């Protein structure tokens, strides 16, 4: 097997390795892959999570109306606050971090949830593996 | 770029232990590539502190310089032969080009590739003819003339090897031309983006100029990278368009040598030769490009593949520095060097004109 692999012409070897890299990255074996972060906050409380600075995040919520202005592209070093008031969640990017909050690690962004509503709320940040599946998302287009 | 494996195989078999060499060379390449990334980051920070937002010394340059330093150290310590099996510039480059397909849609490929193919045919025919004519004037051997004309007009090392197979050239002739190709390509990789910048060439024209003129695909990608992402894509596609002509050139050369020069001797030309010499990795590039065109890759995946592409290209550029050697040139005298340099100047000027017309005036 190894001997056969060594005898493979360079062009085919390069093609195979190239496609393998695409597959490995695409299925999330290498790189960030699929990600999920859940922020839960009781009434009057806050929660936070540091997430990889990537785009194409899908944002969901429970306990309040979904944010009308969700931030799906997170920038490294930035902080985003989701605030629940009157059963409605609104998002905004913060110019400065609130007191007592440490900046995120390199390559990450900070998501803060502040719950001023009367019930517990959950905010979910979810991101699929980079490669769309099944059949590369072709059927869903 | 089809037959370069042969050369690599010959070279690697000369090393004392291929597997030991792979491990030692692999570790060295890994360390050097990480250093490239670190240096690149440091240099960018330095420039940013001076108010220069874009790092003018892009990573290909850093990688080649580090490779050259490693080359010097390896030769002084006589360890160059040991790490040789892992120094596979062409392989890393081809992997990078397959990955580059993720960034170039089939539409772009057809648009740029069509212009690139027209440019390639004009360039290959003209530059091949000029080199062949000039080589004849100074009475270079027929086989050396064929290898040189193929290298300077198509795509350097791979074309030289393909032509050498077709005309039964001597191994020293291939080594000689290969060295010339690398020695010439390195300065062109740095100087051409500077000239393009001074002339204010649009990225499309500059990329087509690099792709049509510089002989090694690695240096083409390097020059494109130095000029910007758009120039890099166009340069790569134009070069690939040129690469696909290798098989046709090898077939024509074999036919000419069989019918005219050797009259029946040498490799027998068959239409199959066109497929045999065809650079198959271009199919991999097109496959990834086709997947990108139908939306198979999400934006984050394209970005992540882009990062992987940079790493593989950095590996290739480090290898270019490590492979660099001028000692082979001393043996063959200056006559072929002058022909090669004259052909390169002709190539440079003609490529600028053709790129300007096809990608500037006619818009690709």
> Could you tell me the residue ranges of all domains in chain B?
89-361
Chain A: give the shortest CA distance to residue B313, in Å.
12
Q: What is the pLDDT of residues B160-180, one digit of tens each?
A: 877 877 777 776 777 778 778
Cβ-contact B319, B89 below 8 angstroms? yes
- The three-class DSSP label of residue A92 is strand
Which residue is closest to B280 within chain A, CA to CA? Answer: A11
As a whole number of Å, the end-to-end CA separation of chain B is 25
Alpha carbon distance B177, B147 (integer Å) = 7
Exposed, middle or buried by CB within 10 Å (0-12, 13-18, 19+), for A124? middle
Residue B259 has pLDDT above 80, yes or no: no
Place of tokens 């002509």: B245
β-strands A121-127, A58-62: how paired? antiparallel
pLDDT band of B269, cuts 50, 70, 90: low
Q: Does A59 touch chain B (CB under 8 A)?
A: no
Q: Which residue has the tokens 């400065």?
A: A96
d(CA A122, CA A106): 26
Mean pLDDT of A48-75: 86
Question: What is A5-39 written as a DSSP string?
Answer: HHHS-HHHHHHHHHHHHHHHHHTTSSSS-SEEEEE
Query: Average pLDDT for residues B20-49, to the nearest whole number?
Result: 85
pLDDT, mean of residues B311-321: 86
Residue B12, pLDDT above cutoff 50 = no
For chain A, say whether B305 makes contact (Cβ under 8 Å).
Answer: yes
A19-42 pLDDT, tens digit each:
999 888 877 777 666 778 899 999
Whether residues B98 and A18 touch (CB distance < 8 A) is answered with yes
Q: Do A128 and B298 touch (CB under 8 A)?
A: yes
pLDDT of residue B330: 66
Three-state SS string over chain B comes to: CCCHHHHHHHHHHCCCCHHHHHHHHHHHHHHHHHHHHHHHHHHHHHHHHCCCCCCCCCHHHHHHHHHHHHHHHHHHCCCHHHHHHHCCHHHHHHHHHHHHHHHCCHHHHHHHHHHHHHHHHHHHHHHHHHHHHHHHHCCCCHHHHHHHHHHHHCCHHHHHHHHHHHHCCCHHHHHHHHHHHHHHHHHHHHHHHHHHHHHCCCHHHHHHHHHHHCCCHHHHHHHHHHHCHHHHHHHHHHHHHHHCCHHHHHHHHHHHHHHHHCCCCCCCCCCHHHHHHCCCHHHHHHHHHHHHHCCCECHHHHHHHHHHHHHHHHHHHHHHHHHCCCHHHHHHCCHHHHHHHHHHHHHHHHHHHHHHHHHHHCCC
Residue B57 burial class via C-beta count within 10 angstroms: exposed 0-12, middle 13-18, buried 19 and up: middle
Q: Which whole-number Å values give the CA distances from B106 to B113, B120, B278, B288, in the listed order?
A: 9, 19, 20, 9
> How large is the average pLDDT for residues B74-95?
88
**Contact between residue B44 and residue B101 where contact means Cβ atoms under 8 Å apart:** no
Q: Is A56 on the interface with B (CB under 8 A)?
A: yes
**Chain B CB contacts of A132 below 8 Å:** 295-298
- Given a cut of 90, whether residue B74 has pLDDT beyond it is yes
**Can you give the pLDDT at residue B81?**
87
pLDDT exceeds 60 at position B283:
yes
Q: In what order do the strands lie in the sheet with A108-115?
A: A46-52, A108-115, A79-85, A88-94
pLDDT in the model for residue B2 = 40
Report the residue from B88, B90, B284 with minimal CB separation from A15. Answer: B284
Cα dist from B138 to A105, B56, B132, B163, B338, whole Å: 65, 41, 10, 20, 10
Place of tokens 């990600």: A35
* Cβ–Cβ below 8 Å for A131 and B94: no
Query: Which pLDDT score is estimated for A112?
Result: 93
**Closest chain B C-alpha to A35 CA, distance in angstroms:** 13
Q: Is B5 on the interface with A (CB under 8 A)?
A: yes
Average pLDDT over residues B204-208: 92
Edge-to-edge, what's the strand order for the sheet holding A121-127?
A35-41, A121-127, A58-62
Residue with tokens 């006589």: B78
Phi/psi at A121 (5° precision): -130, 155
Residue B120 pLDDT > 70:
yes
- The closest alpha carbon to B116, from B275, B283, B354, belongs to B354
- Residue A48 CB coordination number (10 Å): 17
| Beta bridge pairs of residue A47 | A113
* Spatial contact of B234 and B211, defined as CB atoms under 8 Å apart: yes
Q: Choose the closest CB to B295 out of A14, A21, A137.
A: A137
**pLDDT number for residue A115:** 92
Report residue A100 CA to chain centroid gap: 24
| Pick from B48, B250, B237, B102: nearest CA to B169 | B250
Hey, which residues 261-290 in chain B have their CB within 8 Å of chain A? Answer: 279-281, 283-285, 287-288
Integer distance in angstroms from the first to the last C-alpha of chain A?
40
> Does B2 contact A19 at a Cβ distance shorter than 8 Å?
no
d(Cα B271, Cα B273) in Å, to the nearest integer? Answer: 5
Chain A residues whose beta carbon lies within 8 Å of the beta carbon of residue B288: 18-19, 22
Taking only the tens place, the pLDDT of each residue in B326-355 is 666 666 567 888 999 999 999 999 999 999
In this predicted structure, what is the pLDDT of residue B307?
81
User: Residues of A with CB below 8 A from B94's CB?
Assistant: 10-11, 14-15, 18
- Test B280 with A136 for CB contact under 8 angstroms: no
User: Is residue A136 very low, low, confident or very high in pLDDT (cuts 50, 70, 90)?
Assistant: very low
**A 60-119 near B (Cβ less than 8 A):** none
Residue A135, pLDDT above cutoff 60: no
């Amino acid at each position: 097997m190894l001997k056969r692999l060594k005898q493979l012409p360079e062009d085919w070897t390069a093609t195979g390795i190239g496609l393998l890299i695409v597959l490995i990255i695409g299925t999330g074996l290498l790189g960030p892959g699929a990600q999920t972060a859940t922020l839960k906050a009781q009434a009057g409380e806050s929660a936070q999570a540091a997430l990889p600075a990537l785009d194409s995040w899908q944002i969901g919520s429970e306990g309040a109306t979904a944010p009308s202005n969700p931030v799906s592209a997170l920038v490294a070093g930035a902080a985003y606050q989701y605030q629940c008031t009157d059963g409605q969640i609104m998002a905004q990017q913060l110019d400065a971090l609130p007191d007592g909050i440490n900046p995120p690690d390199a390559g990450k962004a900070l998501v803060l949830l502040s719950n001023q509503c009367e019930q517990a709320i959950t905010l979910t940040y979810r991101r699929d593996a980079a490669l769309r599946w099944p059949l590369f998302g072709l059927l869903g287009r | 770029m089809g037959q370069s494996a042969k050369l690599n195989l010959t070279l690697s078999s000369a090393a004392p232990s291929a597997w030991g060499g792979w491990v030692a060379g692999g570790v060295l390449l890994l360390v050097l590539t990480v250093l490239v990334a670190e240096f690149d980051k440091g240099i960018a920070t330095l420039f940013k502190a001076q108010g220069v937002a874009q790092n003018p010394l892009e990573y290909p340059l850093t990688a080649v310089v580090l490779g050259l330093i490693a080359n010097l150290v390896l030769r002084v310590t006589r360890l160059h032969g040991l790490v040789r099996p892992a120094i596979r510039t062409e392989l890393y480059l081809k992997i990078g080009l397959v990955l580059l397909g993720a960034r170039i849609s089939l539409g772009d490929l057809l648009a740029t590739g069509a212009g690139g193919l027209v440019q390639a045919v004009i360039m290959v025919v003209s530059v091949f003819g000029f080199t062949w004519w000039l080589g004849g004037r100074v009475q270079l051997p027929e086989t050396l003339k064929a290898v040189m004309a193929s290298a300077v007009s198509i795509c350097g090392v791979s074309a030289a090897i393909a032509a050498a197979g077709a005309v039964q050239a001597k191994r020293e002739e291939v080594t000689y031309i290969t060295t010339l190709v690398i020695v010439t390509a390195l300065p062109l990789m740095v100087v051409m983006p500077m000239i393009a910048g001074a002339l204010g060439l649009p990225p499309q024209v500059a990329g087509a100029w690099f792709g049509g003129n510089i002989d090694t695909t690695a240096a083409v990608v390097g020059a494109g990278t130095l000029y910007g992402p758009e120039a890099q894509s166009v340069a790569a596609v134009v070069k690939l368009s040129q690469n696909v002509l290798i098989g046709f050139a090898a077939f024509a050369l074999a036919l000419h040598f069989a019918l005219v020069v050797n009259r029946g001797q040498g490799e027998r030309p068959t239409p199959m030769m066109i497929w045999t010499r065809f650079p198959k990795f271009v199919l991999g590039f097109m496959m990834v490009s086709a997947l990108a065109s139908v939306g198979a890759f999400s934006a984050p995946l394209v970005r992540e593949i882009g990062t992987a592409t940079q790493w593989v290209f950095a590996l290739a550029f480090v290898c270019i520095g490590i492979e660099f050697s001028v000692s082979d040139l001393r043996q063959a005298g200056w006559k072929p060097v002058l022909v090669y340099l004259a052909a390169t100047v002709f190539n440079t000027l003609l490529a600028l004109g053709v790129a300007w017309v096809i990608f500037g005036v006619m818009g690709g």
